[in-house]
Chain A
Amino acid sequence: MLVYILRRLLIAIPVLIGVTIVTYGFISMAPGDPVTALLDPEQMSTLGPDWVEQQKAALGLDKPVPVRYVLWLGEAARGNLGYSAVDRRPVAQKLGERIGPTLRLMIAALLIALLVGIPIGILSAVKQYSWLDYVSNLAGLAMISIPGFFLGLAAIYLFALKLQILPTAGMATIGEPPSLWDQFRHLLLPAFVLGLAEAAPLIRYARSSMLEVIHQEYVRVARAKGLSEWTVLLVHALRNALIPLITIIALQLPTLVGGAVIIEQIFAWPGMGTLAISAIFGRDYPTIMAINLISAVMIILSSLIADVMYAVVDPRVHYN
């Protein structure tokens, strides 16, 4: 097992390097540069081209792209992700501030997805072809079809503006002493909007995986022994039905990362997503590079976790 994990981590390294090469390549094709982007043209004409060149050299922008890439990679491997082109703060520090809120949002959304998706999926498998099955299938499709930002706007309209029971944006009320209840209220809407979209595929997979299990013979044996229907379903069938779901949950994480970008933007959530958008509009390339790298790491790690969990939960699975 340990060997397997190590091997997977080793395979992940070239993939990560590939991601950074491609991203770096894309970014280096960008027109303009951070020096001229920060200056207004009038000021630039008084400072002269020499000054601009000097500033570029100070930022390392005078070197050819492959050289810059290798330098960046060397520093990144040592944990230095560079300095923001906009406010000159270390990128690692900026990211550090943002990763907590994003993780909080993602974990809450994942919990909601699990609590909504799995029970509904299991129920619609048990009551196959009932109206409940039909409605949950329809609701699942609706949840992946409604764009998150529209659902988010609708949720703000309904719960924050009309009913006025939840705040419209942010992570806490500004100017008030921090309280858990206040933060929880702020978390509720964005986490639900993000979580419902993730719940839809879970409903579908929970249903099909449960259906597969309840038609197996050991379940019939459990029934024949005279166990109550709920014991059969929850104790005997559910355990095996959950195994394939672990993979699905881990493979959902990348969409969670992407979905968080738009949801954070709508709810003014101070996470990586809003940082990504402001970095993109501010042409803050070091920050963009770092966000791409961190997200790629999260995606690769989640598929590794999926495979490892699979073997942990199911003793029949061996990796060699």
Chain B
Amino acid sequence: MAETAAPGRLTLRAVPTAIPRARPGVWSRFRRHRLALVGAGILVVLVLVAALAPLVFSLDPYKVDLRAYRKPPTPEHLLGTDASGRDVLARLIFGARVSLSVGVVAVSIYTLLGVVLGAIAGYRGGTVDNVIMRLADIFLAFPRLIIIITLASLVGPSIYNVMLIIGLLGWPPIARIVRGMFLSLREREFVVGARVSGARDTRIMFRHIVPNVLAPVIVAATFGMAGAILLEAGLSFLGLGVQPPMASWGNMLNAAQSLTILEGMPWLWLPPGVMIAITVLSLNFVGDGLRDALDPYQTMSSEK
């Protein structure tokens, strides 16, 4: 893999520092990925606004004002009001809390499940491995969206159920990555060393081997978060996710399905859609940057 010159540094090629370092800084490689930096910046702003704006300004996403029925943007309501006279901007900011927390919680659940199941399958091998991986096959053969909407309608749509459903169904790809790496790592000297020194299996698995598989897992989790936010939005859009009056970007769009709103009241459907796209795009940028930074041998994106 040829060294790619960092943009902006002109004399790099002449300097004889071509001896590859054992582990060049992850951060410096991430920093070179400009889109990833932009994405990370946007995400930080989003998290700050979602967390702090309701504390600083007086925002009430639930305050019904029937005199302000679907009013276009005014200085008082910067993004107008919806069918119940609720402030669209306030709902947008509270919707960010929903999207971000669904992304984080759902992906945490399935990453944890995937790492544990993949580690057990890869470390134990044999029947245990077979059972877990066939289970993964079954979960991968599910028509994802269809089984998710089936489940959402069965357990009742709510933000917690959406987190749980996405969390419980998403583990197989992570488990596959972890298992694959465990198969080769468990034969390495440091594992034998740990075993000789009397470490228990769980300790070897989670203290010694798991840190070595985290890089691709983190990358997959970042992309997974983008996917989970899209799924939540899709579910809420269909009316099977977060339920009103709680605001979510997806259910704000659900209210905009009628042609009159679509044609005449863009402030009701444009902002939530744009917010979903920006958030998901930022996560994908960061995922791209992390992949290049953490795993320089598997580059497929813009920087290589």
Q: Do A276 and B138 touch (CB < 8 A)?
A: no
Quick one: given A27-B150, A134-B302, are A299 and B137 in contact (CB under 8 Å)? no
Q: Do A161 and B273 touch (CB < 8 A)?
A: no
Does chain A have a CB within 8 A of B23?
A: no
Q: Do B262 and A156 touch (CB < 8 A)?
A: yes
Does chain B have a CB within 8 A of A257?
A: yes
Looking at the complex, which one of A16, A30, A138, A162 makes contact with B141 (CB distance below 8 Å)? A16
Quick one: given A161-B263, A168-B259, are A280 and B153 in contact (CB under 8 Å)? yes
Looking at the complex, which one of A18, A141, A205 makes contact with B288 (CB distance below 8 Å)? A141
Q: Do B302 and A153 touch (CB < 8 A)?
A: no
Contact surface of A with B, Cβ cutoff 8 Å: 14-16, 18-19, 22-23, 26-27, 29-30, 133-134, 137-138, 141-142, 144-150, 153-154, 156-157, 161-162, 168, 204-205, 207-208, 254, 257-259, 261-262, 265-266, 276-277, 280-281, 283, 288, 291-292, 295-296, 298-300
Does chain A have a CB within 8 A of B226?
A: yes
Not counting A147-B233, A153-B253, A276-B149, a sample of 5 additional A-B residue pairs whose C-beta atoms are within 8 angstroms of each other reads A144-B280, A153-B262, A156-B259, A207-B300, A258-B143
Q: Do B146 and A261 touch (CB < 8 A)?
A: yes
Q: Do B263 and A296 touch (CB < 8 A)?
A: no
Shortest CB-to-CB span from A295 to chain B, Å, is: 3
Q: Do A18 and B134 touch (CB < 8 A)?
A: yes
Q: Do B262 and A157 touch (CB < 8 A)?
A: yes
Q: Which chain B residues border A254 with CB–CB below 8 Å? A: 143-144
Does chain A have a CB within 8 A of B267?
A: no
Q: Which chain B residues border A138 with CB–CB below 8 Å? A: 35, 302
Task: Tell which of B60-68, B193-201, B234-242 binds the partner.
Answer: B234-242
Give me 21 A-to-B residue pairs in the complex whose CB atoms sit less than 8 angstroms apart, sorted by A's number.
A18-B135, A18-B137, A18-B138, A19-B138, A26-B151, A26-B154, A27-B150, A137-B301, A138-B302, A144-B284, A147-B234, A147-B277, A149-B234, A153-B253, A156-B259, A157-B263, A161-B259, A161-B262, A277-B238, A291-B143, A296-B141
Does chain A have a CB within 8 A of B142?
A: yes
Looking at the complex, which one of B141, B259, B273 makes contact with A147 (CB distance below 8 Å)? B273
Q: Which chain B residues border A292 with CB–CB below 8 Å? A: 142-143, 146-147, 150
Q: Which residue of A lies closest to B230 (CB)?
A: A147
Q: Which residue of B lies closest to A293 (CB)?
A: B143
Q: Do A262 and B302 touch (CB < 8 A)?
A: no
Q: Do A153 and B146 touch (CB < 8 A)?
A: no
Quick one: given A258-B146, A276-B146, A280-B240, are A149 and B137 in contact (CB under 8 Å)? no
Quick one: given A145-B277, A280-B240, are A258 and B284 in contact (CB under 8 Å)? no
Shortest CB-to-CB span from A264 to chain B, Å, is: 11
Quick one: given A261-B146, A276-B149, are A14 and B134 in contact (CB under 8 Å)? yes
Does chain A have a CB within 8 A of B94?
A: no
Residue of B146, B230, B234 with most partner-chain A CB within 10 A? B146
Q: Which chain A residues border B281 with CB–CB below 8 Å? A: 141-142, 145-146
Q: List the 5 closest pairs (A to B, CB-CB), nearest first.
A: A295-B143, A258-B145, A150-B273, A18-B138, A145-B281
In the complex, A205→B301 CA distance in Å? Answer: 10
Looking at the complex, which one of A15, A141, A148, A162 makes contact with B137 (CB distance below 8 Å)? A15
Does chain A have a CB within 8 A of B171?
A: no
In the complex, A108→B137 CA distance in Å? Answer: 29
Does chain A have a CB within 8 A of B107?
A: no
